[in-house]
Amino acid sequence: MIAIGVDIGGTSIKGAFINEQGTILNRFSMKVDKDAAPEGEVAKLCDLIVHDRDELKTNEEIKGIGIGIPGILDMDEGIIVSSPNLPTWDGFNIKAFMEKKLKYKVLINNDANVAALGEAKFGSGKNYKDLIMITLGTGVGGGVIINGKLFDGNKHQGAELGHMVIRMDGKPCGCGRRGCFEAYASASALIRDTKAMMKKHPISMLTEIEKELVGIDGRNAFLAAKRGDKYGQKLVDNYVKYLSEGLINYCNIFRPEAIILSGGIANEKEYLIDKVVEYLEKHTYGMKGSPKVKILNGQLGYDSGKIGAASLVLFE
């Protein structure tokens, strides 16, 4: 059996034919014109899928198409309610459109959920049944797997793990509240804090590193800390605390076997993951001898979206 996994982004659509072992058999990708009507773009996607299917020359049954989409979705109906990166797509029923055109079953889900499912089934979570994936990027995305299945709440509107307030009245969040986990633990939050630190201490190693990296992203603070800069270290210490406090909340709420962290920042092993593990051992609530939560790195990288989208179909 084969499923097609599609990962829709703001500038391109990537996809793959994936078998039951999670192996990618064939990849495809296309650019998206974000100002064009969705019908035209998705028609191109359908043509690409047909072309690649014919090229693949497989006798195995193709069970359907899974799609990961950022934004607010009506998953049951298959409608993109609102996607900030593809504003012309708002209200588009991608499921109905593709099912009519291709005669394959189409399932859609949130990009963060889909990535979590991919890691759970074929990535670093494959030995666990209860896990959480947290993606540290522009925002903080979350996916929850309970007993091997994606959990996303009533009408698929839950698992918004970035929008848990950890500091009431704290930093403003894009969702309208103040003090969300996302406002502290996203890469954007770290960049905001790095800029604030540089403004406060204009002549520092952080300024040199900015020139070196030609800009500021999630790496600057870590690089400065590694070179012994006290301001860089302070930024990293704070970030470890913010991230850990949110993760401990999720340990107490879900008590998962493992938490998978993904996004560029999650690659900082000694300066982040090891420190988070240390923090969690000190502060997690629970029974004496309570199961420890494994903190893992995502294994699939950018393929988690495609493999996870296919998993929607493979493990339906």
**Residue (181 or 271) nearer to its own copies, CB:** 181
203 is a contact residue toward its own copies (CB under 8 A): no
- Kindly identify the residues of this chain, within the stretch 147-176, that bind its own copies according to CB under 8 A: 151-155, 157-161, 163-170, 175-176
- Kindly identify the residues of this chain, within the stretch 251-290, that bind its own copies according to CB under 8 A: 252-257, 283, 285-288, 290
Q: How far is the CB of 90 from its own copies (least distance, A)?
A: 10
**Residue (24 or 277) nearer to its own copies, CB:** 277
Residues 6 or more apart from 202 whose CB is under 8 A from it? none
Which residue is listed with tokens 């708002």?
Answer: 90
Q: How far is the CB of 314 from its own copies (least distance, A)?
A: 21
Q: How far is the CB of 148 from its own copies (least distance, A)?
A: 12
Question: How many angstroms separate the CA atoms of 241 and 231, rounded?
Answer: 15
Q: How many residues bind its own copies (CB under 8 A)?
A: 47
Q: How far is the CB of 287 from its own copies (least distance, A)?
A: 4
88 is a contact residue toward its own copies (CB under 8 A): no
The residue from 74, 99, 208, 217 that contacts its own copies (CB under 8 A) is 74
Other CB atoms within 10 Å distance of the CB of residue 252: 12
Which stretch in 2-10, 41-49, 216-224, 249-257 sits in contact with its own copies by CB under 8 A? 249-257
> How many residues in total does the chain contain?
316
177 is a contact residue toward its own copies (CB under 8 A): yes
For 71, left (φ over 0), alpha (ψ -120 to 50), or beta? left
Residues 6 or more apart from 152 whose CB is under 8 A from it? 75, 109, 110, 113, 144, 158, 159
Residues 236, 197: contact at Cβ < 8 Å?
no
- Kindly identify the residues of this chain, within the stretch 1-60, that bind its own copies according to CB under 8 A: none
Choose among 35, 38, 20: nearest CA to 122: 20
81 is a contact residue toward its own copies (CB under 8 A): yes
**Residue (100 or 283) nearer to its own copies, CB:** 283
91 is a contact residue toward its own copies (CB under 8 A): no
Residues 165, 249: contact at Cβ < 8 Å?
no
Q: How far is the CB of 56 from its own copies (least distance, A)?
A: 36
φ/ψ of 51, rounded to 5, equals -60, -45
φ/ψ of 147, rounded to 5, equals 50, 45
Q: Which helix (H) or strand (E) is 247 found in, with range?
A: helix 230-254
Sign of CA dihedral 68, 70, 73, 78: negative
Which stretch in 51-59, 193-201, 237-245, 272-280 sits in contact with its own copies by CB under 8 A? 237-245
Label residues 47-62 b or e (16+ Cβ within 10 Å = b).
Answer: ebbeebbeeeeeeeeb
- x/- mask, its own copies, residues 183-202, rule CB under 8 A, reads --------------------
**Residue (180 or 205) nearer to its own copies, CB:** 180
Return residues touching its own copies (CB under 8 A).
72-74, 81-82, 130, 146, 151-155, 157-161, 163-170, 175-177, 179, 241-242, 245, 248-249, 252-257, 283, 285-288, 290-291
